[in-house]
Amino acid sequence: MAELLAAKLVRDVPDFPKQGILFKDITPVLEDPAALKQAVNLIAADARAKGAEVIVGIESRGFIFGAPIALHLHVPFAMARKLGKLPYDKISEEYALEYGTNTVEMHIDSIKPGQKAYIVDDLLATGGTAAAAARLVERLKGSVCGFGCLIELSFLHGRETLLGYPVTALMEL
Ligand code: AMP
């Protein structure tokens, strides 16, 4: 297996966005074309193997990886956006944060009935965001064939939240 170039580039930023959070900053990965290309290619290969017919990117860093993966596979790219950003008819799913809740939304026509959707984000933490995106896909009568990300914070047990969905992470931190 070739070395994962992104592994050395993810930067830890303590106490961002608030005290006690160790933020995984992927901007150095985005600034390294070879590392970004390798990460996109690896997640795209997984999405292809899972039979993805549409790639769902979670706002906002999921867009950075999701759109090139969709191009790579020549399948549609669908956005799961934060509350209030999508202009057309949409459905919403709320999920719990440490304090309060967040909401993700998708356009009602962004998933076709029966379509296999592969969900992409930069990082899996508790899995709440990815699970909400999965509920949106299923409410639109699609099925979730997998979830792919660059980084998994395994101590937060996001995989348990996503039980039943295959999860692929390029690195575990
Ligand atoms: P979760 O819903 O808990 O799995 O959180 C995942 C979402 O929050 C992803 O969109 C991540 O980009 C972001 N996120 C959560 N924790 C971190 C962290 N420690 N560093 C960077 N991003 C994070």
**pLDDT per position as a tens digit, 37-75:** 999 999 999 999 999 999 999 999 999 999 999 999 999
pLDDT attached to residue 19: 94
Contacts of residue 106, defined as CB under 8 A and 6 or more positions apart, other chains included, come to 56, 78, 79, 80, 81, 86, 90, 91, 133, 136, 137, 140
pLDDT attached to residue 150: 98
Which residues, judged by CB distance below 6 Å to any ligand atom, belong to the binding site of ligand 1? 21-24, 58, 61, 121-130, 158
pLDDT attached to residue 26: 98
Over 90: is that where the pLDDT of 99 sits?
no
Instruction: Give me the helices (H) in the chain, please.
Output: 27-30, 33-49, 61-73, 128-139, 158-161
d(CA 63, CA 140): 20
pLDDT attached to residue 38: 98
Q: Which residue is closest in CA terms to ligand 1's atom 16?
A: 125
pLDDT attached to residue 2: 82
Ligand 1 atom, smallest distance to 129 CA: 2
d(CA 95, CA 103): 6
pLDDT band at 97 (very low <50, low <70, confident <90, very high): confident
Ligand 1 atom, smallest distance to 21 CA: 19
Cis peptide before 110 (omega within 30 of 0): no
Tell me whether residue 172 is one of the annotated catalytic residues. Answer: no
Residue matched to tokens 């790219």: 77
Over 80: is that where the pLDDT of 98 sits?
no
Q: What percent of the chain has pLDDT over 90?
A: 96
pLDDT band at 1 (very low <50, low <70, confident <90, very high): low
Which residue in 140, 150, 119 sits closest to 10, CA to CA? Answer: 150
CA 124–ligand 1 middle distance (angstroms): 6
Tell me whether residue 61 is one of the annotated catalytic residues. Answer: yes
Query: Which of 38-42, 94-98, 118-122 has the lowest average pLDDT?
Result: 94-98
Ligand 1 atom, smallest distance to 61 CA: 12
Strand-by-strand arrangement of the 143-152 sheet:
90-96, 101-107, 77-82, 54-58, 116-124, 143-152, 167-172
What is the value of pTM for the model shown?
0.98
**Candidate list 3, 11, 31, 61, residue with the active-site label:** 61
d(CA 111, CA 138): 9
Q: Residue type at 163? A: L
Query: Hey, is 168 helix, strand or coil?
Result: strand
pLDDT attached to residue 40: 98
CA 123–ligand 1 middle distance (angstroms): 6
Query: Hey, is 3 helix, strand or coil?
Result: coil
CA 12–ligand 1 middle distance (angstroms): 13
Contacts of residue 169, defined as CB under 8 A and 6 or more positions apart, other chains included, come to 124, 148, 149, 150, 151, 152
* Average pLDDT taken over every residue of the chain: 97
